[in-house]
Chains A and B, each alone.
Chain A
Amino acid sequence: MILASVAELMNSAWPAGVMMLGLGGLFAVILLVASEKLKVEVDAKVEAIQGSLPGVDCGACGFAGCGSYAKAVAADPELIGKCAPGGSATAEKIAEILSLSVGGGAAPLRPVIHCNADIDNRTYYAKYEGIESCTAANALTNVQACKFGCVGYGDCVASCKFDAIHIVNGLATVDYDKCTGCTACSKACPKNIIEMVPFSEPAMTVVACHSQETGRMTRQMCKVGCIGCGLCKKNSDIFAVNNNLASVIYTDYKVDEGVETATTKCPTKVIKRVGKGVIAESKVESPVA
């Protein structure tokens, strides 16, 4: 009974089967020929390098993505070490694939926000209700008193692929545990207050202000700006004061007693330490203050 119906099915279904077999075979042949004719030679080294890259396509290396960087570095080994998210580990892996060796390596670059003013410390002349982006807000003058400081609409946050920068109470704040140093935020900031600094130590001393106004003007606009008094320069050689603004000379960076004194003596407390471990402390402190 069952056998008979199976036989019947077979009898009526065979043209369909033949058709599918025929079409399938035809396409198989066409694709086989095409895959031979249109073969692309892929360098095994390029594929291996691409496998060792983080694959986040952040563009810190200056190429369109990890794929094009892999191709470029295979052709020109001098480009090793351009991958910021991968760091020295990736550089070593690439060198191994290309049977080269890398030595040393500079201190990793990390972003430093040159502004210390959260929303309570800033002065506004007007209320901004436009497009919520720093670039747009920056196009309007005289909304925020300080021309140099953080705008706080988070263009840097949008540019970060690693969730490592956030707007905390109106001020961009870097999470150094997540940061890979890809420089995206520093490119995104319309105020250019995010500087890439070589972090020779996990936490670095920085001047968290970018204001080149005179001390008097800065004091009027911001409670925590650098007034260019030069007290830090007197205490330590790593500081320089130009255009009413103190800055750290990172080429001769070292922490000694003078730096500690300068940090504590700074009248507006604009010299601070940022980096791994420092953020956690300030987060604990802030509810008390």
Chain B
Amino acid sequence: MDTLNTLLLGFISIVLINNLVLTKFLGICPFLGVSGRIDMAFGMGMAVTFVVTLSGILTWMIDHFLLKPYDLQVMQYVCFILVIAGAVQLVEMYVRKFFPPLYESFGIFLPLITTNCAILGLCLFINLWEINSLIEAAVLSIGAGVGFTMAICIMAGIRENLNLVDVPKCLRGAPITLITAGLLTMAFMGFSGMIK
């Protein structure tokens, strides 16, 4: 019961309170770049969720079974990037083989996940928060992906409606998008302190 409680709280906290995009400001590039249409945003969110889950679990294992016992934590960044790049390559091949339409609609975004800092950020956070069980690391990883998907879908929904609004000429395009992102972030700050 206690573990379940921890897992549930961890999940909610990473989705809402410590949302990687809106409170840690990680993964802003796809958050602004791919949030033009809801279906694309959802696809990107799913891809990120998949990769972040895989790489979160893998990096936790590498960290715990290889780096920590040999006191090599200085190598974290290099190893984690290696794992993420490998995982993305693997996902790309898999999707291309078994879901060709999905592969075509992702286009360049799939390889770009490699450089999505939200994923490296999550791997490092898992380490920073001293998560000691594999299940908790896995739940946090999935939660991070869900949080990213939620943030990018909310943003895409707002931007789809923004297209129909008479925005002042000087604010059209990137400026109004950034202002929207800022307001969204402020809204999410209301969640902080919800779980003590």
Cα distance A240–B83 when bound, in Å? 71
Given contacts A27-B86, A31-B90, A40 and B96 within 8 Å (CB-CB): yes
* Interface residue B128 (Cβ < 8 Å from any Cβ of A): no
Contact among B62, B94, B104, B165 for A23, CB-based, below 8 A: B62
Does A133 sit within 8 A of B, measured CB to CB? Answer: yes
Name the contact of B72 in the complex, choosing from A15, A27, A31 (C-beta under 8 A). A15
A-facing mask of B78-102, CB < 8 A → 1, else 0? Answer: 1100110010011001101100100
A40 to B95, CA, bound (A): 11
- Expressed in whole angstroms, the minimum distance between the Cβ of A47 and any Cβ of chain B is 14
Interface centre among B78, B86, B97, B104 (most CB of A within 10 A): B86
Q: State whether B97 touches A16 (Cβ < 8 A).
A: no
The proximity string for B residues 57-76 relative to A, scoring 1 for CB distances below 8 Å and 0 otherwise, is: 00000100011001010110
Q: How far is the CB of A12 from chain B (nearest CB, A)?
A: 11
B166 contacts partner chain A, Cβ-Cβ < 8 Å: yes
Contacts of A44 in B (CB 8 A): none
B38-68 with Cβ < 8 A to chain A? 62, 66-67
Does any Cβ of B come within 8 Å of A24's Cβ?
Answer: yes
Contact A24:B82 (CB < 8 A) given known A31-B89, A40-B96, A131-B164: yes
Asked if B90 and A30 make an inter-chain contact with CB atoms under 8 angstroms apart, the answer reads yes
**Distance in Å from the Cβ of A132 to the closest Cβ of chain B?**
6
- CB contact under 8 A between A133 and B86, given known A19-B72, A19-B79: no
Determine if A67 is an interface residue (Cβ-Cβ < 8 Å).
yes
Residues 9 to 48 of chain A near chain B (Cβ within 8 Å): 15-16, 19-20, 23-24, 27, 30-31, 34-35, 38-40
* Cα A143 to Cα B96 with chains together (Å): 51
A27 to B90, CA, bound (A): 10
Number of interface residues of A (CB under 8 A): 22
Q: Judging by beta carbons under 8 Å apart, are A34 and B93 in contact? A: yes
Q: Across the interface, do A40 and B97 meet the contact criterion of CB distance under 8 Å? A: yes
Query: In A143-176, which residues have CB < 8 Å from any B CB?
Result: none
Inter-chain contacts of A38 with B (CB < 8 A): 93-94, 96-97
Beta-carbon contact of A19 and B89 below 8 Å: no
Report the bound CA distance from A132 to B162 in whole Å: 12
Task: Give the B interface residue count (CB, 8 A).
Answer: 23
Most buried by B among A15, A27, A68: A27
B104 neighbours in A (Cβ, 8 Å): 64-65, 67-68
Closest residue to B103 on the A side, CB-wise? A40
- Are B164 and A16 in touch, CB under 8 angstroms? no
- Given known A-B contacts A30-B86, A30-B90, A31-B86, A23 and B96 have beta carbons under 8 A apart: no
Q: In the bound complex, how far is the Cα of B161 from the Cα of A136, in angstroms?
A: 14
Assess whether A16 is in contact with B62, with CB atoms less than 8 Å apart: no
Give min CB distance, B23 to chain A, whole Å. 31
Contact A16 B75 (CB under 8 A): yes
Query: Are the CB atoms of A19 and B97 closer together than 8 Å?
Result: no
State in angstroms the CA–CA spacing of A65 and B107 once bound together: 12
Asked if residues B93 and A16 are in contact (CB atoms below 8 Å), the reply is no
User: Per-residue 0/1 for B97-120: is the Cβ within 8 Å of any A Cβ (1 yes, 0 no)?
Assistant: 100100010000000000000000
Contact B74 A16 (CB under 8 A): yes
Q: For B78, list chain A residues within 8 Å (CB).
A: 20
CA distance A199 to B107 in the complex (A): 36
A27 & B166 in contact (Cβ 8 Å cutoff): no
Interface residues of A (CB under 8 A from B): 15-16, 19-20, 23-24, 27, 30-31, 34-35, 38-40, 64-65, 67-68, 131-133, 136
Q: Give the 10 A-B CB pairs with smallest separation, nearest first.
A: A27-B86, A38-B97, A38-B93, A131-B164, A16-B75, A34-B93, A40-B96, A31-B89, A15-B70, A16-B72
Interface, chain B (partner A; CB < 8 A) = 62, 66-67, 70, 72, 74-75, 78-79, 82-83, 86, 89-90, 93-94, 96-97, 100, 104, 164-166
Pairs across A and B, CB under 8 Å, 12 listed: A15-B70, A20-B75, A23-B66, A23-B79, A24-B82, A27-B86, A30-B90, A34-B90, A38-B96, A40-B96, A40-B100, A64-B104
